[in-house]
Amino acid sequence: MNKNTKYTLHALVLGALVATTGLTAANTTSTAATANTVPSTARAATQSAHADATTDKSAITNAKSPLPSVATNSQTALETRESRTESNPQRPTNNDLSTGTQTTVVNKQLPVGGPANIQNVRPYIFSDVPSDFWAANSISTVTRANLMKGYSDGTFRPNQPMTREEVASLFNNITNDGQAAFLSSKFKDITSDRWSALAIESVARKNIISGYGDDTYKPEKYMSRQEFAVVADNYIHYLGYTTEDPTVLDTVAYGDQKFVAPWAQDAVRELAYLGFTNYAPGTLFNPEKYITRAEAAEITYRMTQTEQALAFHNTLFRQQVENKTVRIIDNALNYGNDFTKFRNDGALFWEAGQLYASLTDQKKVDLVAKAIADAHDLQLDKTVVVSKGKLTQAQLEDYQSDAIALYQEKEPKGKIISIYPNTDTSALIITVDSIQKSTMKAFKKKFHDNVFLQLPPEPLTGGSDENIHFPLPQRNTKNKS
């Protein structure tokens, strides 16, 4: 059987984006990015960053007006998920990112805290943000959602750089933890009477933003674009977002990518890949330039209010369901944290918003079904279907490999649109853009009723081999609780 196929598997089979999250896309003119999963790669040690005084193309904005100039230089504090040496007192400390399952709901009003001189004065309308300002809609939306606020003089100051405490306040608002009692700070330069104290402690505990090796936070230091990208990246991984294909970020390379610090490379690429920052070949990211309030508002808007956000949360929901299901199956069938054994017992795949856990042995079906029910997890109860199937993942993978080779031989100009099993896993269904009678005959002769070719139900408007979704990856549940 032909195993040398270029159609490597990125994830569990996806029939469509999960539609059971209850999320609805906001009206937006932004183009939704494909919500493929991306790696959560650790970042390395800190470096000094110098604010760039000018910019040509903004990767973070759809800038229709010049971005602000910043003349001061500042050593950066890096917000990473990798442990650091503390020999340099200016290096920020860090702990491993904690993985959670909390999901931010799109378009939800969130509570907020802020400095004493920032108030809800003329909410959502600011004297320095005209209607044709490139980020006007984003600023209006995030202030209406109480994620950011304007100043008491009626301005938003969109071109003003963001400080580390302002960024902490922003992400504390996004995580929606509310106002907790302040007991003590892990940072010696954060006192209880500081307006941002609660927010700083909250995001630090979540490993979204870290402090420095000398136990300081430096709240008034400005934050660079690449630092903000790392913070935003830490946030989405705090939600539980995981890597399915570590190679997808290789396709993203800004015109100045080589100037992005090593510790920020993956974060910058990841935000672009998810559509949270602008990206096109040749676009500049300006990594060392300070992030402005307008740019932060734009990224926040994209992460919480747009089709990109909806796609991201659909993917996050799918990952949560998959991971919980894998752990339950692993325990129920005594795999010993080696889920690769499941390949010979059944198949796991998405179809029409349902995650099918198909097993060929009825006793194992009963064990898994009982374990799912005993978990009393509403998310799983509504989404997971445990059933008896005919073919295992290993068998389906063999059929897929041979079917791809045969189709390419018979239809050298044809394209495979998708591959997925039917719900009882008795066959693979392959959707293609062209089928000759001789091809159908060859498939029938070789595969009998185990592989079916079909044309798409509607005229093709696009598509490529990259849309192939089957087979499943070899999952291993080691180090998962």
Give 261-316 pLDDT, tens digit per residue.
999 999 999 999 999 999 998 899 999 999 999 999 999 999 999 999 999 999 99
Spatial separation of the C-alpha atoms in residues 203 and 209, rounded to whole Å? 6
Label residue 460 by pLDDT band (50, 70, 90): low
The residue ranges of every structural domain in the chain are 35-305, 393-467
Angle in degrees, 0-180, between the axes of helices 265-273 and 225-238, rounded to the nearest 10: 70
Checking DSSP bridges between strand 354-359 and strand 73-75, what pairing results, if any?
unpaired
Are 128 and 156 a contacting pair, CB within 8 Å? yes
- CATH architecture classification, 393-467: 2-Layer Sandwich (3.30)
Are 113 and 261 a contacting pair, CB within 8 Å? no
Secondary structure of 86-121 in the HEC alphabet? CCCCCCECCCCCCCCCCCCCCCCCCCCCCCCCCCCC
Collapsed DSSP state (helix, strand, coil) of residue 349: strand
User: How does 344-369 read in b/e, with b if 16+ C-beta sit within 10 Å?
Assistant: ebbbbbbbebbbbbbbbeeebbebbb
**The pLDDT of residue 98:** 27
Label residue 410 by pLDDT band (50, 70, 90): very high
Mean pLDDT of 35-62: 35
Record the pTM. 0.66
Label residue 245 by pLDDT band (50, 70, 90): confident
Collapsed DSSP state (helix, strand, coil) of residue 247: coil
Residue 376 burial (10 A CB sphere; 0-12, 13-18, 19+): exposed
Give 327-337 pLDDT, tens digit per residue.
999 999 999 99
First-to-last alpha carbon distance for the chain, in angstroms, is 37
Are 446 and 397 a contacting pair, CB within 8 Å? no
Spatial separation of the C-alpha atoms in residues 201 and 207, rounded to whole Å? 10
Angle in degrees, 0-180, between the axes of helices 293-304 and 136-144, rounded to the nearest 10: 70
Give 134-169 pLDDT, tens digit per residue.
999 999 999 999 999 999 999 999 999 999 999 999
| Residue 203 CB coordination number (10 Å) | 27
